[in-house]
Structure 1
């Protein structure tokens, strides 16, 4: 079976990437502009503009001097033809198809292959094996049969990755041609197995031709990768042949290694035309790691360790024995060895602490679980390409105005938190995150084991910190010796250090996405999907700098079109950035060279910094095993509410306590003033119950907005001018960026929610205007709303109050009610309609709290402000402005389900979540707020529900934490709302009792319980789960008539 000339040209035409289309290598038959063509251009615009719309897309086109007309032509969906000589992969594809049709038995033989995708690919693998043996010639004798088969397995794994999604789609279509949809949907394992075999036989019998014409990118990628594999395997054997004497001398005591007996490929990411790390076993018993890049930086690290020992370095550190060449290298294979004793465990953690400190001094990163191996008492760092790091020159003008706040970011970016040794959370899916931290993750090779059980870092934190501190002190004490001249004796050669432009998993996720069938049909769609990575190179960057940086993006796109993970390097003694083809992409991309950065780090070492880094290690290990909601600690089935019996507290005492907190802010959270270095806080991923340490951001939940709101409320009561000044300083940089005409705050790229996003900014600025009597704050909020477009709202994928559209609906309705501003009403209408169109109240009936408590079946399900409750109230507020019968029906159905749920959980003896974000307090707050709406019709029902919530909560113990989101203060907010809604002042007395409980406990222990029962290192100044929220709720409880609820 061969391709016709027409088929060859059609495949080349459809598989052409974007740059090939723009270069005129294809011609389209249809010249008229079609609607689908315009839609394809709009999708490219959406991908590339970073929510910036057409204006941003025009910036992107300007990077390559592409006109909108040219872009529209490239987006054509018309048939056409490839111009000129066809690409080389077409002839390879045609050659491979000569193997078809074929019969399973002739291809598979006696092998039992259960994977029918692999069976389908066997003719291509046979073709590859044949051509590899031809390339190797006599050198094939250097391999055993097993090793040759291992080589084929490397190719096999990659081809399966590329083909699997298409195979599954074609398989379903194949079944549907012969059976009904109901058969397919209900197909059992036996029928599925039978049909999968039939479909594989269909492909072997000639079905591949239809597949390649339907998915031309599949043929291109498979053949290109096959050719890369041939080149790479041939390079491996040539390198071994050239280096075998040096290998024997360096790794095998001068004894010949023997044949290559086995290979294990795909041990790392593929770079530079499919090259990746390979583990090689020799017939002599030696095992080595072959890396298809220079390992000069690894050699440099070994040289550094030896030099440090000469200076009296206090710990034993090991690195794999390594030899390096210009384009490849060989390294000792390190195996995981369990610990033999408790003494070895203590020694191990001292050594890892020392490694930790050394990596910190060198500025290294990316030493996650895959790059550290536990070998007895020795923690051994492998893959040392990121042992040094760089600081990128700041090109983005949008954040230049916020540059001072990066002083705090530097505490994280250059700290022990950025090394990968402590917890590093990566999303596996939307609902599952995985810890890849070398010390705390699930990767077996990096975690010490004794007697078959893990030896956790949290049990040896003293030893770990001892090793870290002693090593840190060693560099601090001897830093005069570590001069530039001393370092240059180590940095002899111009070793390349890898720079991570993005996390490799970001690239890997994109490459997986690109194997979906729709992208393998069309080279234009494939390339323009990668353009999602383009925006940072031109948005907020001056044009001349954008064009200077643009080659970096083109390198990224080219690599991913070749199925590679993009790879970038810097030279240890220079500031330029290079790509995987050794091309210089941009000079002076880095602020300084790696060697200069090491010198800067050594110079900046201090006792104060050592204390900060050790505290970060302790805190990171502590929060690793905490979740954002820990029901096992927070709730007890037996306990009931019982405030501490210490001295009572008055409302005036609450104001005094809040003012004391303000003074603590000045001492603890602020280094000089609020516009710089506000501090670190816990950042909560509510959906996945993960906590990280990060700088305060610009949002309400974890950012400086909450601090400014607390200060503003305090000024409202005290009228102290210095407090007002502090409040305004907290939003100074944000407001300045709004007014920056050339590079304003990139509103279109911000989330929209109340906790995280635009809604929170609008809400806080509005409240601050009321408290501080500064009209310009309200004008800033309106100015921000004016920047929102229908496209921005439509593109927001989250609908809840904290993170998405419901929060923006709430804020915009509030602004409209205050100002009657038409823009605010327009935004409210857009948000409300979007929620209705998406049926948002049904989408969210399983919020983050419910998801968590469902693990424990004894907890009844609830919603809360992070869930359905948080959508219903903004919709009810909007209904007052819109008088829409559809809204009224949806709202009524949602409220009925809320009330039914409250009654259901109240009737049960089981425990129930009581928090504001995901429990009864949040549900009760919404019922109380609804009673404040003049046109609300279900008043009696809500009043009865509030009473039921009050009764239920009175029998439930207080939440463990003291904060607002899922702590005691959420219940305080409900009691204040219930007191107002029912006109019963005695209910607010219960709120005062809870505040008394919190303050008495703090006075007794010396700290607020922010994250469990233990005192934490971070003071956590954030609002919803931190100190500023505690201060605000004290003021609100003391003066509810003037300090507003943030939820109303």
Structure 2
């Protein structure tokens, strides 16, 4: 009898076409019968759920093609639906789904494979990938079950596996995925990657900051590992919420010292009032050489001894500060996803940092002081990271997800040429920046995406080479290895940098975009107002000036400037030499206030001088740059270098 049968599936009325894909899942079940069948490692229910998971992956491949077929059926029955298929009722969608399933079964899939010839091969390859990854997982599980049971679960044997949840991570490296393994004696996490960094970071934290940060225990094996499962836990009082954010502040200070990146809310768990970093593969980060290529503009603007350089070396790139992407907040501090366990829960309600800002900032200051006091010990701890694998993200995962979706469209599946064309533009960035030697990066991205994976880039802790999996893509891609970057950052620790980071943290919290909660009263709209008299206008300008002056930060390099809110993801970025929300517009405002005289005239002249210095530097960099990509030089008055010219050239 098959492990998964049709009678065990209950798809929605408008999604019954998934039953056509059952034969591929059953084929995978036969190939894995020794592992999934009677006498294997899994309960019957767990085995079925594994194959249902494969069905879900196969359905993702077919979704657009199936949807196009159903839309055609609905438009045939009701021509108005050709204008907008979303207007269809559930009954109409269910009828189209039933018809599609009937035709799929009657033609063996040819009714869609004829229009998307590559789809059948894609289904075959995805099934084969599932089988290969499954065999590898179960072989490792059987080999290590004793160590897993004793070290992670405190028992002699974990019994049978009751569930494998693969939603803990994206697919990488030939269909492998981080998975939560549930057994009769407890849960643990399977990570199909080099886990040396998990071991080294846990040991570093144990020595430096065990009271403020948790790192899961990990059994490290060659090219994979088994990690402790961390259960989110509620806190018992508001005081404990405050202690959590104080500890998290200290953890942020350690991550700043190490150079951590991509530390968004999905990588953290609040466990008993302690912040636990459950995904540590970016706790150290290398510095790509391309970002400091002096031949290019705007890379010239980020040279050392500049405010932009200080901002790039701060917590801003870490994803620890408030930042919104695709409608959700990425930071632990204000996480609003409703699904992560990163924030403390009190009385069933998630508590953000709002109301606990003082505790968070105090914790950061205390953690920074601890890193400063134990600088030598931190530096010695870095030696163990030289041979570990460190992940490096080159593009947003969401952009890869969009490309994967495009690769599953009917058009992309019509021919190999169409499918290859969907990823061909990945190399454009390198061509535009005069970096053709980096085209192997785009080649690796295309190879991964065409296979169905999210591209995985990494490097060794002590190396400058960029790797795609275990393949060298660009030999000298990084100007600083992860260990060198961490060593430099730890060496830069100082009271000056701490003040800069605290100012950055304080501003990021006070200027964060916080969506209104459901039912919250709308703010009053602006009323009509009469033009201000001169004295009233000067008074308001003076008040605005004081606020802007109070936002001025001085980086460790000694260069002062401001942070503005990026419209791209509502995060703080260094102010650019443009008119709107930039130093060109601020400089014009300061100059006007200076010309009006008064008590603030001298200070306004100082701030105008800071802005003018930045505008002149931008003009010099434009003149000396060997290459200026078109996208790097917007010319508008408000958002481009037209405003720079207006601010820097008298009379313009």
Partner of 1:418: 317
User: Is contact 1:407–1:677 with CA below 8 Å preserved after alignment?
Assistant: yes
Partners of 1:724 and 1:334 lie apart in 2 by 52
C-alpha distance 612-314 of structure 1, shift in aligned 2 (>3 A): farther
User: Is contact 1:578–1:584 with CA below 8 Å preserved after alignment?
Assistant: yes
User: Is contact 1:680–1:693 with CA below 8 Å preserved after alignment?
Assistant: no
1:112 maps to which of 3, 6, 10? 10
Partners of 1:263 and 1:376 lie apart in 2 by 25
- 1:583 counterpart = 2:471: yes
Partner of 2:51: 152
Partners of 2:541 and 2:227 lie apart in 1 by 64
- 1:557 counterpart = 2:441: no
User: Is contact 1:314–1:471 with CA below 8 Å preserved after alignment?
Assistant: no
Partner of 2:405: 512
1:366 CA drift (Å): 1.5
User: Is contact 2:218–2:227 with CA below 8 Å preserved after alignment?
Assistant: yes
C-alpha distance 739-234 of structure 1, shift in aligned 2 (>3 A): same
Partners of 1:296 and 1:256 lie apart in 2 by 25
- 1:731 counterpart = 2:615: yes
- 1:679 counterpart = 2:561: yes
Partner of 2:173: 272
- Residues 323-377 of structure 1 show CA distances to partners (whole Å, capped at 9, x for unaligned) of 0111211111111111122332232222212222221111112221211011121
1:715 CA drift (Å): 9.5
- Residues 376-403 of structure 1 show CA distances to partners (whole Å, capped at 9, x for unaligned) of 2111110110011111113472224333
1:448 CA drift (Å): 1.0
Alignment of 1:320-719 (within 5 A): 320-393=216-289, 394-395=292-293, 397-399=295-297, 400-404=299-303, 407-427=306-326, 433-443=327-337, 444-483=340-379, 485-488=380-383, 490-491=384-385, 494-541=387-434, 546-580=435-469, 582-626=470-514, 635=525, 649=535, 668=552, 677=559, 679-683=561-565, 685=567, 691-710=570-589
Alignment of 1:3-152 (within 5 A): 108-109=6-7, 111-114=9-12, 115-133=15-33, 136=35, 141-152=40-51
C-alpha distance 166-343 of structure 1, shift in aligned 2 (>3 A): same
Partner of 1:23: none
Partners of 1:571 and 1:495 lie apart in 2 by 6
Question: Pairwise CA RMSD of aligned residues?
Answer: 3.7
C-alpha distance 413-225 of structure 1, shift in aligned 2 (>3 A): farther
C-alpha distance 206-382 of structure 1, shift in aligned 2 (>3 A): same
User: Is contact 2:244–2:273 with CA below 8 Å preserved after alignment?
Assistant: yes
Partners of 2:358 and 2:549 lie apart in 1 by 30
C-alpha distance 747-737 of structure 1, shift in aligned 2 (>3 A): farther
C-alpha distance 684-361 of structure 1, shift in aligned 2 (>3 A): closer
1:632 CA drift (Å): 5.2
User: Is contact 2:74–2:96 with CA below 8 Å preserved after alignment?
Assistant: yes
Partners of 1:447 and 1:112 lie apart in 2 by 35
- Residues 485-510 of structure 1 show CA distances to partners (whole Å, capped at 9, x for unaligned) of 4532x43x611110111122221222
- Residues 668-689 of structure 1 show CA distances to partners (whole Å, capped at 9, x for unaligned) of 567899xx9552322253xx9x
- Residues 191-228 of structure 1 show CA distances to partners (whole Å, capped at 9, x for unaligned) of 32123212212112216113223212322322221111
Partners of 1:302 and 1:183 lie apart in 2 by 57
- What is the aligned length? 630
Partner of 1:305: 205
The normalised TM-score by structure 1 is 0.55
- Residues 22-56 of structure 1 show CA distances to partners (whole Å, capped at 9, x for unaligned) of xxxxxxxxxxxxxxxxxxxxxxxxxxxxxxxxxxx
Partners of 1:370 and 1:601 lie apart in 2 by 25
- Residues 293-328 of structure 1 show CA distances to partners (whole Å, capped at 9, x for unaligned) of 1211101111112332xxxx4724322111011121
Partners of 2:293 and 2:132 lie apart in 1 by 39
User: Is contact 2:189–2:227 with CA below 8 Å preserved after alignment?
Assistant: yes
Partners of 1:128 and 1:636 lie apart in 2 by 63
Q: SS where residue 261 of structure 1 aligns? A: strand
Q: SS where residue 446 of structure 1 aligns? A: coil
- Residues 252-305 of structure 1 show CA distances to partners (whole Å, capped at 9, x for unaligned) of 33511112221111321110011101111112x221111111211101111112
User: Is contact 1:289–1:333 with CA below 8 Å preserved after alignment?
Assistant: yes
User: Is contact 2:445–2:455 with CA below 8 Å preserved after alignment?
Assistant: yes
C-alpha distance 536-456 of structure 1, shift in aligned 2 (>3 A): same
Structure with larger RCO (C-alpha < 8 A, sep 6+): 2
- Residues 74-132 of structure 1 show CA distances to partners (whole Å, capped at 9, x for unaligned) of xxxxxxxxxxxxxxxxxxxxxxxxxxxxxxxx962364322324223222222222222
User: Is contact 1:289–1:331 with CA below 8 Å preserved after alignment?
Assistant: yes
User: Is contact 1:314–1:470 with CA below 8 Å preserved after alignment?
Assistant: no
Partners of 1:442 and 1:226 lie apart in 2 by 36
Partner of 2:629: 746
Larger Rg: 1
User: Is contact 2:192–2:223 with CA below 8 Å preserved after alignment?
Assistant: yes
2:93 maps to which of 181, 192, 197? 192
Partners of 2:89 and 2:117 lie apart in 1 by 32
User: Is contact 2:36–2:47 with CA below 8 Å preserved after alignment?
Assistant: no
1:250 maps to which of 112, 130, 151? 151
1:665 CA drift (Å): 7.2
User: Is contact 1:572–1:595 with CA below 8 Å preserved after alignment?
Assistant: yes
Alignment of 1:282-321 (within 5 A): 282-283=183-184, 285-308=185-208, 313=209, 315-321=211-217
User: Is contact 1:678–1:704 with CA below 8 Å preserved after alignment?
Assistant: no
1:164 CA drift (Å): 0.9
User: Is contact 2:310–2:556 with CA below 8 Å preserved after alignment?
Assistant: no
- Residues 521-560 of structure 1 show CA distances to partners (whole Å, capped at 9, x for unaligned) of 233233233233322323233xxxx343221221111111
User: Is contact 1:681–1:695 with CA below 8 Å preserved after alignment?
Assistant: yes
1:595 CA drift (Å): 1.9
Partners of 1:160 and 1:573 lie apart in 2 by 42
Q: SS where residue 397 of structure 1 aligns? A: coil
Alignment of 1:765-804 (within 5 A): 765=645, 769=649, 772-773=650-651
Partners of 2:609 and 2:332 lie apart in 1 by 45
User: Is contact 1:120–1:201 with CA below 8 Å preserved after alignment?
Assistant: no
User: Is contact 1:709–1:768 with CA below 8 Å preserved after alignment?
Assistant: no
Partners of 2:28 and 2:401 lie apart in 1 by 25
Partners of 1:672 and 1:374 lie apart in 2 by 32
- 1:232 counterpart = 2:137: no
Partners of 1:296 and 1:672 lie apart in 2 by 33
1:728 CA drift (Å): 5.7
Partners of 1:417 and 1:404 lie apart in 2 by 17
